[in-house]
Structure 1
């Protein structure tokens, strides 16, 4: 029986070795998502704009939520909220799809030469494409309303790196579990919906009572959401000590997920 390496080195080498295949599959997935619809890929532009408008009305008009700046500007609230949604949607899109990644690609399981471990990277590539469109929407509105964003915007891809590692690691774990336990997909849907409201997306961390703020910091989404707002809106560089610690932690999580996937993939064909 074929043995699959679980080493951290293989986790990186597999990504590099199969980069051409990943790129092809990402393009095919993005093109196929809106195939047959009248507006095609324009839906990836209108969806975030529509949801942004709804959330902004509910939280800034109905609940009158405000950010740390103390500004009553609904435009600023919308842009700050949008950053949180972009970060969360990147995570949620991949994690929600993860339990079905192997199940929806049964034809690849039977092919010994196909590198199944790249499927979470393909999902991540598709999610990053949609995030880039959302970021473009955010950038246009920011320029129109407030002018040129701070130069720290260039740090945004770096801020996302720990989240990417965490998300791919969880995707490997959930993709494997989804083969053996079909209820995982339902549980993950509940988990991500709950996590959205337990993350500082619609409100600042400071809005919580002091005794609850440390609990919010245990949320793996919180550091990325806050650092993304720092570099995109407030013009502050990331807290590099926290960033390095978080990157080390999420890379370890990614390796654990990869190792689990590699150890359990030998039984996929038997179950499917």
Structure 2
């Protein structure tokens, strides 16, 4: 764990650089387009609007008894936006070291700087959207006190993406196939989580499979807050803690073992 503490101290000393690089990362992605960073917000917002229009307005689809809400589109959006935020941040973090290879070869910068920059750049887009989602859903339960849990939930998700994004970035530097494997896992993972259906509909004997997806803990927490105005269950907090601990340990091991080889891999 001393490796992680060293990296944390290095990032804190370079916090001004982190801010500058994050801003550049967010701006560079849509440089040269007429609407600039507006596209970053428009794409996920329009995707969610399409789900609501199709499922709740056009087809007026309803969920069965026992579901946290009856409107299908309303249910999907509550879990889909956090999943989109997770997938975007993790993908950016995973490829951050590969993209920063030339810079790392010329400058002695902490490796964690680039996954953190990528995750923060993603958060600049999705954190405001998540805040708007909270404002849209809060009237359903009259702004229940549980909405206060939304902030630590988003912060812990950013930490999750930073830790696992850094670990995957090192693995991707060592083996480029990591990018393809993780990309496939993200496309499949949305089906192995409560994003598209309540966990109660999953076969009871296979319910444990859902918890192999790190976002299951977060999605159930978001759904409890947004749809029911309830505090996330203890199982959700425990799942979050476990995935954060695993990410910390894996990241520490990979940082320590790759310290002398990372630049050569890049």
* TM, length-normalised to structure 2: 0.85
Per-residue displacement from partner, 1:88-116 (whole Å, max 9, x unpaired)?
12221122233421221122222343222
Question: Do residues 92 (structure 1) and 87 (structure 2) align?
Answer: yes
Q: Which has the higher contact order (CA 8 A, sep 6+)?
A: 1
Higher mean C-alpha deviation, range 120-129 or range 49-58: 49-58
Q: What is the Cα deviation at residue 257 of structure 1?
A: 1.2
Q: What is the Cα deviation at residue 203 of structure 1?
A: 0.9
| Corresponding residue of 2:173 | 179
Q: What is the Cα deviation at residue 225 of structure 1?
A: 0.3
Contact 2:146–2:231 (CA under 8 A) maintained in structure 1: yes
Question: How many correspondences in the alignment?
Answer: 264
Find the aligned partners of 2:116 and 2:43 in 1 and give their Cα distance: 23
Q: 1:14 to 1:89 in 2, by over 3 A?
A: farther
| Corresponding residue of 2:126 | 131
SS in 2 for 1:266: coil
SS in 2 for 1:263: helix
Q: 1:165 to 1:66 in 2, by over 3 A?
A: same
Task: Give ranges in structure 1 of 5+ residues lacking alignment.
Answer: none
Q: What is the Cα deviation at residue 137 of structure 1?
A: 3.8
Find the aligned partners of 1:242 and 1:107 in 2 and give their Cα distance: 40
Contact 2:22–2:120 (CA under 8 A) maintained in structure 1: yes
Q: 1:245 to 1:189 in 2, by over 3 A?
A: closer
Higher mean C-alpha deviation, range 195-204 or range 13-22: 13-22
RMSD: 2.8
Task: Give ranges in structure 2 of 5+ residues lacking alignment.
Answer: none
Question: Do residues 66 (structure 1) and 60 (structure 2) align?
Answer: no
Q: 1:137 to 1:165 in 2, by over 3 A?
A: closer
Question: Do residues 23 (structure 1) and 19 (structure 2) align?
Answer: yes
Q: What is the Cα deviation at residue 13 of structure 1?
A: 2.2
Q: What is the Cα deviation at residue 57 of structure 1?
A: 5.6
Find the aligned partners of 1:71 and 1:243 in 2 and give their Cα distance: 22
Q: 1:147 to 1:64 in 2, by over 3 A?
A: closer
Instruction: Within 5 Å, give how 1:233-272 maps onto structure 2.
Output: 233-240=227-234, 242-244=236-238, 246-272=240-266
Contact 1:34–1:41 (CA under 8 A) maintained in structure 2: yes
